[in-house]
Chains A and B, each alone.
Chain A
């Protein structure tokens, strides 16, 4: 303590000094009081809200959207997203795809790391092999999703504890500027995977020169080759800063001098922070959206963007849960899914522009490469199986009661209490809706941390769970891949041979080279999920952003990178 003690006199002096300085700033600049605050007044960058702390800047370890956003500010991939979310060249100047679609050759442009060394093909090889070797959260991007040659086999061997040589992974540096990737099967969306941070490069020499575990833990231990460089960061910090990278290959097109990120814990606090000009970009929810809509000053600054996440209910179908596997009964699940008024949920409780969802693949993230049509644009296509229809729900319920020979059901709905205020509200509203429509059902609510919820779902120790999934890549498979038998995300333990076959055909089988046939087959698969009410989709999350009108050109995406600032300008 002694070190930080201060005398009363010094304290007053300091307070007076800082106080008057900020008064001056306030007079000169208008509204902001300077410091780490935003900069709309001083013109040196923008203040942006993060909703959680950045967990890691290491592409092998990062798992959350906020971390990915900061990584993508600082590191470029082979591809980047354009404003519509399509893949356009970044570090790869040109790309060649072989006729069979199994060999992708990326020709790198001249670009440098922030320490002056050039970005080479080997930086990718090193980073990708490391992902496979460590088998972390996103290692499946290299195997199941990316289908890189030997990726699936290597993953299996490493997990079995066998000797595995990651140099057999189908990625090679032909020369410094040429990266060749071999795939097991053609992957139609492979180029759009390349903007996902898992596929970003790491400079091997720099990495190996660091003390173990320190990569990405400070500006000194992190190399940038993207639009921004990390200038102020420690792990766990609530505020961090990235500044423009003068040596960026496309530096001329980047006009934003810096981004000051600030973690903000509550929607109410975010709203006041925005009103006080402390931040230029914030996300608000629930009542704050309602308040902003009514406020003439704020209403036109409100921008709703897709967040990608779909919230849904999953039903455990195994014997040991839900009164001896009651939820294995299809009619009971259909009764549930038809008893929920999704429009009421989003209008009254979520309120941030989230969309009531009636499809197993949420809308607005996966468009067909051939027709450009959104996979789930038509939300009425499954109206025979899902919707808010009291009579239908009660009919399904009567059937279920007959089949099961039981009149009353008591289940527990588990949900996370640290996943946003609206989740707690939605859970309570669902309880009231279901109990009102299906008399005889008691749905107890059990709040828990997200960690415990996941634990319970993974151990198959729950009846009904309120959970979510965000798309990792722009293809319906990111959702439909979950419901195959024994997939670790198939928390209901649903199993359907016909479904498994369609999905297998679409990933490694007959449809891989026929885009439209695959697209149609995916629709068939989705129909099965909806018909049997494997899950009850609820709503697709949107973000209600308040954006300072002087900040233009932030690109929002529901997949991979939620916000991109490469073309952002400040007036």
Chain B
């Protein structure tokens, strides 16, 4: 296992390098300017580009970027929060997005599992129908629409939660954005749990367990849920990455200084900020790759017959 993980980490680093390079090139092809300006002349802009070394061959630029990266230097913003080192901006955004996203993952997974299990155990009843409708609405109504309703009722009509995000009261002011962000995850998890459990509950080994006199929680957790978890974990993994990396509209509405808005602003804001796009791209990929590795390991733990680890060693 250890060998497998080491091997995967090495592969991940190579993948990350490839992604960084692809992004490095693509962002330079994109329309849009790293120095958007209505007042600077063409010479002024050319001067700024030269200062940043943007006229050098791409490979030269890339190796310089990687060398700086090795020292933990992501560079500075050019069209976004100009002049400030990216790591100072990024630190706060990561902290906010990870915490709110983490809360959303927790709420979404927990409530989603409960809903899904309840629906599956009461298949065909009103509860089941409710779960179906809830999960369909949950994916059709964007989370930010839900946030607006929360804000309208619980910050304005009944002023209980703060109207805007307030980092000094972190947890309290995270409740509404986390709830709205969790809606999609909640619906997805509920639906997958319900469908998987219904399928597993009908399988021979569950009938066998039942006939042996097993029932209740033991049956659900040990036999049914465990076998239903593989698709749930699979759909949950990318959702976790998405939630951790923030959501544009929710951040905009609730005044959260987070990664989602930063990412869109860096590509489709005042200009195209190469350094921000790269820094955020690396962050996103690292998270994605890392979580996919965890998922592959989890498969083996959930179902010992699955051997991603060993088969990847080449002995399949």
Contact = CB atoms under 8 A, between A and B. Distances in A.
A272 interface: yes
B143 to A, nearest CB: 15
B102 interface: yes
B204 interface: no
Contacts of B44: 135-136, 139, 159
B152 A278 contact: no
Nearest to B172: A18
Given A238-B255, A272-B151, A458-B42, A217 B88 contact: yes
A56 B83 contact: yes
B12 interface: no
Interface in B8-36: 31-33, 36
B171 A55 contact: no
Contacts of B166: 35-37, 239
Given A18-B172, A37-B162, A272-B151, A4 B39 contact: no
A213 B84 contact: yes
Given A263-B255, A265-B253, A36 B156 contact: no
A62 B37 CA distance: 11
Contacts of A23: 160
A358 B93 CA distance: 45
B164 A239 contact: yes
A551 B33 CA distance: 41
B84 A450 contact: no
B38 A454 contact: yes
A33 B160 contact: yes
Nearest to A32: B159
Contacts of B251: 238
A269 B150 CA distance: 12
Interface stretch (A229-237, A387-395, A520-528, A560-568): A229-237
Nearest to A218: B88
Interface string A35-52: 111000000000000000
Interface string A169-193: 0000000000000000000000000
A14 B171 contact: yes
A452 interface: yes
B161 to A, nearest CB: 8
Interface in A194-226: 213-218
Q: In the complex, which range does the number of interface residues on chain A fall in? A: 35 or more
B168 interface: yes
A236 B93 contact: yes
B159 A31 contact: yes
Interface in A86-140: 135-140
A1 interface: yes
Nearest to B75: A213
Contacts of B80: 55, 236
Contact of B98 (A1, A26, A234): A1
Interface string B262-273: 100100111110
Contacts of B39: 63, 137-138, 140, 488-489
Contacts of A386: none
Contact of A272 (B43, B92, B156, B272): B156
A4 B82 contact: no
Contact of B162 (A33, A61, A137, A161): A33
Interface in B27-73: 31-33, 36-44, 47-48
Contacts of A264: 255
Nearest to A470: B38
Contacts of B83: 56, 58, 61, 213, 215-217
A15 interface: yes
A58 B36 CA distance: 17
B76 interface: yes
Given A159-B44, A213-B76, A36 B162 contact: yes
B175 A35 contact: no
Nearest to B90: A236
Nearest to B272: A451
A418 to B, nearest CB: 7
Contacts of A18: 169, 171-172
A449 B148 contact: no
A14 B148 CA distance: 24
B89 interface: yes
A246 interface: no
Nearest to B164: A262
A273 interface: yes
A33 B88 contact: no
B187 interface: no
B7 to A, nearest CB: 25
Contacts of A158: 47
Interface string A274-292: 0111100000000000000
Interface string B83-125: 1110011001100001100100000000000000000000000
Contacts of A347: none
B165 interface: yes
A234 B40 contact: no
B164 A137 contact: no
Given A37-B163, A449-B269, A237 B33 contact: no
B185 interface: no
Nearest to B152: A272
Nearest to A67: B82
Contact of B89 (A4, A159, A236, A268): A236
A234 to B, nearest CB: 5
Interface in A260-316: 262-266, 268-269, 272-273, 275-278
A455 B31 contact: yes
Nearest to B79: A451
B195 interface: no
A330 interface: no
B33 to A, nearest CB: 5
A278 B36 contact: no
A275 B156 contact: yes
Contact of A217 (B84, B160, B269): B84
B148 A269 contact: yes
A61 B77 CA distance: 11
B215 interface: no
A455 B33 contact: yes
Contacts of A63: 37, 39
Interface string A133-164: 00111111000000000000000001111000
A451 B268 contact: yes
Contacts of B285: none
A42 to B, nearest CB: 14
Nearest to B43: A159
B252 to A, nearest CB: 4
A18 B168 CA distance: 11
Interface in B240-262: 249, 251-253, 255-257, 262
Q: Which 5 A-B pairs have the closest CB atoms?
A: A265-B252, A278-B163, A276-B156, A238-B255, A18-B172
26 contacts: A1-B102, A5-B102, A14-B171, A22-B159, A55-B80, A58-B82, A137-B39, A137-B40, A140-B39, A217-B85, A236-B81, A236-B89, A236-B257, A238-B255, A238-B257, A239-B166, A265-B249, A272-B156, A278-B155, A278-B164, A449-B268, A451-B79, A452-B32, A454-B38, A456-B31, A469-B38
Given A238-B255, A451-B271, 13 more contacts: A4-B102, A15-B171, A18-B172, A55-B81, A61-B82, A137-B37, A160-B43, A262-B164, A266-B253, A450-B36, A452-B31, A454-B36, A488-B39
Interface of B: 31-33, 36-44, 47-48, 76-77, 79-85, 88-89, 92-93, 98-99, 102, 148, 151-152, 155-156, 159-166, 168-169, 171-173, 175, 249, 251-253, 255-257, 262, 265, 268-272
